[in-house]
Structure 1
């Protein structure tokens, strides 16, 4: 049964070879852009988090590392002449990255709620979260659109990983701003627990190959 939008992986129109080549190239470019941005994001977030003793910022940086692993799996898949043959393995890597992210965010959120460490305000973190809140949705939308037309569940799953990073950016931004203005250190870990629950769902869907429709 085809999707309402006729995406290729669910029985939509078969793509011409030329169009498929264009989409394969586009996915590789988008994945490359995602990896490059997340490497910079990880370095800045972990460095700023260490200076401010912010578990949220360090966790955000580690999420960027996981995002790089997810994007790298898709890049590996599309580096070969037959990406479809590598899709199952790529999906497994993406699913595991979601589960790892959920586990880390949950542990750090519980630690923060227990009062293990209180973060100092971080201007660098606020700017980084704001920039990511703008950049990540653009990358996610472009890759998801290309992945759906191409019929690649792994490309769509990776776009969901990028979208999840957008949610984390919003959570991080809210937590840092509230902490800086009001000193409410509990706001960020509570919201992050919701993100962890979403990550588990996304990981389960990626493992089952349900990210196309």
Structure 2
């Protein structure tokens, strides 16, 4: 927590409650997103789409860690553990996606067109920025590195949605099959960077 700014207890309670509500909304959306993305990615043999779905699983783990932190009477005492969970989740995602993307590139197996994946990426591109901004704003005022880290996890989903959308469209419209695993590798690189920041607690404020 940022100790330089003292918040009134009433304001602190309001912000904590807001973070919990935003975290709950993030979890609910990402559960749906993960199921749809992984199912569509499996059908289309799309490493990028499956990786996007797994990122949603990571976001659920991250948001759950923050929800656990703020469910206690002393969130500050739980912050370091929450940050570690967020970081490890990022690293696990990066490792899996990298392996699958390299296998796809070496094997040359093209991903099929996925209308469901394209629609999902477009919807996430519209929904995620608002959730991320609201949580980041509340987390910064509260001085919570874990809340800000989780908001960046949500913002990462926005970037990945855009990258995924481009990759799926290139594959569908131009037949650039290699765009799918390349996009997956981009997802892995960003995940490693965010994981390192979470591990160091560099997200606040």
Bin of the TM-score, shorter chain as denominator length = over 0.9
CA shift for structure 1 position 104: 1.8
TM (norm. structure 1) is: 0.92
Q: Distance in 2 between matches of 1:77 and 1:105?
A: 28
Q: Deviations along 1:95-151, whole A, 9 cap, x unmatched? A: 101111111221122122213532110001000000001111111111111100000
Q: Distance in 1 between matches of 2:148 and 2:91?
A: 17
The equivalent of 2:13 in structure 1 is 21
The equivalent of 1:163 in structure 2 is 155
Q: 1:141 aligns with which of 133, 138, 143?
A: 133
Please say if residues 153 and 209 of structure 1, whose CA atoms lie closer than 8 Å, have aligned partners that are also in contact: yes
Q: Distance in 2 between matches of 1:75 and 1:94?
A: 12
Instruction: Tell me if 1:9 matches 2:11.
Output: no
CA shift for structure 1 position 10: 6.3
1:10–1:105: structure 2 CA closer, same or farther, 3 Å change rule? farther
The equivalent of 1:212 in structure 2 is 204
Q: 2:69 aligns with which of 69, 72, 77?
A: 77
After superposing the two structures, state which structure 1 stretch, 186-195 or 155-164, moved more.
186-195
Q: How many correspondences in the alignment?
A: 205
Q: Distance in 2 between matches of 1:159 and 1:176?
A: 25
Q: Deviations along 1:22-66, whole A, 9 cap, x unmatched? A: 000000000000000000001111111122122221111111111
For structure 1, the residue ranges without an aligned partner over 5 or more in a row are 1-7
The equivalent of 1:151 in structure 2 is 143
Root mean square deviation, CA, Å? 1.4
TM (norm. structure 2) is: 0.95
Q: 2:58 aligns with which of 51, 66, 78?
A: 66
Please say if residues 10 and 212 of structure 1, whose CA atoms lie closer than 8 Å, have aligned partners that are also in contact: no
Q: 1:30 aligns with which of 9, 22, 28?
A: 22
Please say if residues 109 and 192 of structure 1, whose CA atoms lie closer than 8 Å, have aligned partners that are also in contact: yes
For structure 2, the residue ranges without an aligned partner over 5 or more in a row are none
Q: Distance in 1 between matches of 2:14 and 2:194?
A: 27
Instruction: Tell me if 1:47 matches 2:39.
Output: yes
Q: Distance in 1 between matches of 2:11 and 2:159?
A: 32
Please say if residues 132 and 154 of structure 2, whose CA atoms lie closer than 8 Å, have aligned partners that are also in contact: yes
The equivalent of 2:187 in structure 1 is 195
Please say if residues 174 and 188 of structure 1, whose CA atoms lie closer than 8 Å, have aligned partners that are also in contact: no
